[in-house]
Amino acid sequence: MTNDDAVAGALEEMADLLEANDVEYKPRAYRRAAENIRDHPASVTDLAADDPAQLDEIDGVGDAIAEKIVEYVETDTIGELEDLRQELPVEMEALTRVEGVGPKTVGTLYRALGVRTLTDLDRAAREEKIREVSGFGAKTEQNIAENIEFAKSARERELLGDGRPLADALLSHLSEHETVERCEVAGSIRRWKDTVGDVDVLAASEDSEAVVEAFTDWERVEDVIEAGTHKASVRAGGGVRLDLRVVVPDEFGSALQYFTGSKDHNVALRNYALDRDVKLNEYGAFDISEVGDPDADQRVGERIGGTTEESMYEALGLPRMPPEIRQGTGEIEAAAENDLPDLLGEDDVRGDLHTHSDWSDGGYQIEEMIAAAADVGHEYLAVTDHASGPGIFGNTGLDDEELLEQIDAVREVAADHDIEVLTGVETNVDADGELSTGDDVLDELDLVVASPHSALDADGDAGTDRLIAAVEHPAVDVLGHPHGRLLNQRSGLDLDVPDLAAAAADADTALEVNSNPARLDLWGRPVRAAIEAGAPIAIDTDAHSPGEFEHVRYGVHTARRGWAEPADVLNAWSIDDLREFLH
């Protein structure tokens, strides 16, 4: 865990404890601040230590929260958090993993029954004590009891790469049902967030009960959590939660916009609308200029949008904003000024600059990887097997002599294919910023990817300086997976991305968006910081097998979250422009 993760975690814990104590407004403020701290491209802990005034640049961090960040950085704790822990000494994170148990429920059960842990909760449910607490009942107690075991073994948030294929399969299933007029994913999975808590699906139909039945009867459903007339929740795909909501066709567009989020985008958009006498909600866009009490009814006023998602924005004189950039980070202002980015599309990627064969740790021959790249439509491919060095699993990396041998092997195989093939390497960046491959070998290659694989616990300046040394090496073309993170496993290096991006821009070195769903590194906000600094982006799959070329879509949508356009992306360029860049 990085220092920034620790700060964000402390603020999230404060939010849960405050909510458990029925405090209003503050919990949401702390959660928003925590999310923005995790996404901020620069080290928040460094800002707090060196120049606390700069914390104001982080969305959602006002003076009060900034003081708590500084306090945590200086003392490793927050006094108010310690007070809240003493007041409510519960295992909040573990308890709230139980389906149907939120912070408020935790607070209620602690005060009524002294429940502090999952074991306490399990005992209270088995002894039928929960049903005796005001506001609960036998059914609620049963639901909690049934979900405790799952919570004990629950993983962290699902990887986008696990949730999205399941969502696509469900959309295909529902779209074939005769009563479904339209269906689409919503929530964080539609915004292509790197991890998702669940999969939200929205369907339009005049027969909602038939759609719910088709949903719960899907062959991949493992457990039905609940099913009503318009909503249902199930588990499938090894425990992933899927939530369905069915709306009438005329309200599909407004519901899709509303449930896609993010919360920050929707709040900002609603405020923008109210300034123009328009009310937005899941039922539509309503002109309330002639309405005395806009809150009298959800559908009060003249309905001027909602059948399509585009109409919700058109009602405000705005173009539709792509879901990936709906983050409350300036997209509404850009739309109002007709200055939205022309985002990169999946078809814009023309090649892959980071791949592996069985010469190192890949599972397929060079010939097979080249053929597979051609089959997916790539115009060019770089073969970049691992060099030997620290952090390479099983010592499978190639030494300098083997790399020189591979150059001839790649060129021999490439001669039999129409696709352009570049010789390359993924060399290692050690703890001091040195590369594990000799300069004389690097000079013989068409393309060099340099990546950190070891010493990934360095924070702040140490990690940043190490990678700056790598991007400034004259032979390095692409900095691979800069943070070295593995989602749900390790957070990787704590980097000052603006400083790194500035160095990369000066050195004409691309920063990678690694499309492997376990990495997605760089991600949204760091990509945007890199683009703003003028550093080119490379979207690579790090493929070790032919099937992994399909992962490029995760990289593309991750780059879109950072406002990436085709001109920003190295491997969206023609082979001639790419070769000019490399030379």
Q: Among 13-27, 49-63, 98-112, name the one with the lowest average pLDDT.
A: 49-63
Q: What is the pLDDT of residue 154?
A: 54
Is residue 150 predicted with pLDDT exceeding 90?
no
Whole-angstrom Cα distance, residue 147 to residue 153?
10
Superfamily of domain 252-336: DNA polymerase, thumb domain (3.30.210.10)
**What is the mean predicted confidence (pLDDT) over 48-60?**
84
pLDDT in tens, 269-280: 999 999 999 999
pLDDT in tens, 345-379: 999 999 999 999 999 988 899 999 999 999 999 99
For residue 262, whether the previous peptide bond is cis, meaning omega lies within 30 degrees of 0, is yes
Give the closest residue to 59 by CA, choosing from 99, 93, 29, 85.
29
Is residue 1 predicted with pLDDT exceeding 60?
no
More confident residue, 280 or 148: 280
Residue type, 144: I
In the predicted model, what is the mean pLDDT of the chain?
Answer: 93
In percent, the amount of the chain with pLDDT more than 70 equals: 97
Largest Cα–Cα distance of the chain, in whole Å?
A: 80
Where do you find CATH 3.30.210.10 in the chain?
252-336
Where do you find CATH 3.30.460.10 in the chain?
158-247
Residue 153 pLDDT grade (very low, low, confident, very high; cuts 50, 70, 90): low
Q: Among 126-140, 263-277, 484-498, 530-544, name the one with the lowest average pLDDT.
A: 484-498
In percent, the amount of the chain with pLDDT more than 90 equals: 79
Contact 501, 530 (CB under 8 A): yes
pLDDT in tens, 512-559: 999 999 999 999 999 999 999 999 999 999 999 999 999 999 999 999
Q: What is the pLDDT of residue 325?
A: 98
Tokens of 187: 């929530």
Is residue 394 predicted with pLDDT exceeding 60?
no
Where do you find CATH 1.10.150.110 in the chain?
3-152
Q: What is the pLDDT of residue 458?
A: 64
Strand pairing category for 221-227 and 537-540: unpaired
Where do you find CATH 3.20.20.140 in the chain?
346-582
**What is the mean predicted confidence (pLDDT) over 164-174?**
97
Q: What is the pLDDT of residue 556?
A: 98
The pTM (predicted TM-score) of the whole model is: 0.84
Q: Among 123-137, 150-164, 350-364, 414-428, name the one with the lowest average pLDDT.
A: 150-164
Whole-angstrom Cα distance, residue 159 to residue 462?
29
**What is the mean predicted confidence (pLDDT) over 92-116?**
92
203 forms beta bridges with 183, 246
Q: What is the pLDDT of residue 372?
A: 96
CA angle 155, 157, 159 (to 5 degrees): 105
Architecture of domain 158-247: 2-Layer Sandwich (3.30)
Whole-angstrom Cα distance, residue 568 to residue 565?
5
Give me the CATH topology for the region 346-582. TIM Barrel (3.20.20)
**What is the mean predicted confidence (pLDDT) over 258-287?**
96
Q: What is the pLDDT of residue 127?
A: 95
pLDDT in tens, 205-242: 999 999 999 999 999 999 999 999 999 999 998 788 99
Whole-angstrom Cα distance, residue 131 to residue 136?
5
Is residue 156 predicted with pLDDT exceeding 70?
no
Contact 398, 413 (CB under 8 A): no
Residue type, 309: E
More confident residue, 32 or 248: 248
- Four-point Cα dihedral 293, 296, 297, 298, nearest 10: 60
For 541, counting Cβ atoms within 10 Å of its Cβ (0-12 exposed, 13-18 middle, 19+ buried), the class is buried
Residue type, 505: A
Superfamily of domain 3-152: DNA polymerase beta, N-terminal domain-like (1.10.150.110)
More confident residue, 266 or 158: 266
